[in-house]
Amino acid sequence: MEYGCIGEKLRHSFSKEIHARIGAYGYELKELAPQDVEAFLREKDFKGINVTIPYKETVLPYLDEISDEARAVGAVNTVVNRDGKLCGYNTDVAGMTALIRRIGVSLAGKKVLVTGTGGTSKTAVAVAKALGASEVVRLSRTAREDAVTYDQAAERHADAAFLINATPCGMFPHPFETPLDLTRFPALEGVADAVYNPLRTKLVLTAQSRGLAAEGGLYMLVAQAVESARLFFGKPFDEGLTDAIFRDVYREKRNVVLIGMPGSGKTTVGRLLAERANLKFVDTDELIRRRERREVAAIIRERGEREFRQIESMAVCELALTNGSVIATGGGAVLIPNNVTALKMNGEVWFLERAVAELKPTSDRPLSDSRDKLNALWGEREPLYRAAADFVARVTDDPEDALSQILNGGNA
């Protein structure tokens, strides 16, 4: 290959799509087993590569030259083949610096926590110091190298102002994991997470719910890719390229999630939106019907609402971890907090609000088959819809009204 990325598991990488937006050059994803890395590097059959988990330190002995920055960090994520000489760089430094600046919390004179002891954590330490942190503390489960354990960090460094997650914790396919409990660090002002898939990890969502400035690693990924391309081709790119690519990739990868009462128009509006925005339409109730080979109403009547909610949660979490979809949820999906968390990881959540007087009881919805039941459901769920929603679209008899609000109001 000419250009590409090597790593152990790359099925969910966004790098190929990002480099396709940088320029017209071939870029491949190449998964390598640990025992194959040496042979690949010794063959030198490439012009430029990115290196990701877990090989950012593995590649070091096979390089002919290492930049001062990469040597200081102790990790390489970009290798350029210059006439048979392999030259190593660390463009993650530029990427993480760009991410922290985007978050908008100054690190000058502040204590910073960095989770992990791998190559990305070394980058995070170097960036925090370069941005003026007064103290940088590394955290790991086993206190290896110069790190402290998470419990020790909570006891000794609860005054930390910023956290950088440099571990894979929270990465697909284990999105509900978090590296630490934010409540133990009450002085935090911001959180940067190097994980970009999902777009917002549980750690980022928790930080945002606590009013902290926080963002996942997609912007870092794009910024380091642009810097890598500069090294590949020996030329600078337009200053606004990183922002433009980030917006495009975010819009392509994010889901639009529709929540609301039964009969509020989620399926109708969702289908129209998917068609208009060139996204895939998926429906949690439809997935349940296919899996269970029964209508939702029949499942509730025969097995009870509690068991149905368990089935629904599995469907919600599965669809929530996809990308580029319009997801119509069942009216009660917001009753389970984990469902809301899952939907927010890759999605912007829209509450389709329709006046309860305009909603109609129907016999195929056993939980809202009478006016009294419908009104009671509204009283129970309306606060949950508002709490879960990133945006609200008001629904009328014309679904184009809600569609217009979503298309005009949900940009990144």
pLDDT of residue 71: 95
Positions in the chain short of pLDDT 50: 410-412
Q: How far is residue 315's CA from residue 322's CA, in Å, rounded to a whole number?
A: 12
Question: Could you tell me which of 57, 62, 49, 104 has the C-alpha nearest to residue 76?
Answer: 57
How crowded is residue 156: how many other Cβ atoms within 10 Å of its Cβ?
11
pLDDT of residue 286: 96
Burial class (CB in 10 A: 0-12, 13-18, 19+), 261: buried
Coil, strand or helix at 99: helix
| Helical ranges in 67-112 per DSSP H | 68-73, 92-103
Q: What are the angstrom distances between the C-alpha of 220 and each of 34, 90, 123, 412?
A: 26, 13, 12, 16
Tell me if 350 sits within 8 A of 259, measured CB to CB: yes
Tell me if 36 sits within 8 A of 28, measured CB to CB: no
pLDDT of residue 270: 97
pLDDT of residue 411: 43
pLDDT of residue 197: 93
Tell me if 34 sits within 8 A of 80, measured CB to CB: no
Active site residues: 56
Q: What angle do CA 341, 217, 403 make, to 5 degrees?
A: 55
Q: How far is residue 132's CA from residue 82's CA, in Å, rounded to a whole number?
A: 34
Tokens of 69: 């920055």
| Chain center to CA of 198 | 3
- CATH numbers and ranges of domains, the chain: 3-87+232-244 (3.40.50.10860), 94-216 (3.40.50.720), 254-409 (3.40.50.300)
Specify the DSSP element, H or E, that contains 309.
helix 305-320
pLDDT of residue 412: 38
State the Rg of the chain over Cα: 24
pLDDT of residue 174: 84
Q: How far is residue 277's CA from residue 254's CA, in Å, rounded to a whole number?
A: 12
pLDDT of residue 403: 96
Tokens of 355: 């006046």
Q: What angle do CA 107, 108, 109 make, to 5 degrees?
A: 110
Q: How far is residue 296's CA from residue 302's CA, in Å, rounded to a whole number?
A: 10
Residues 6+ apart with CB under 8 A from 182: 163, 188, 191, 203, 206, 207, 210, 212
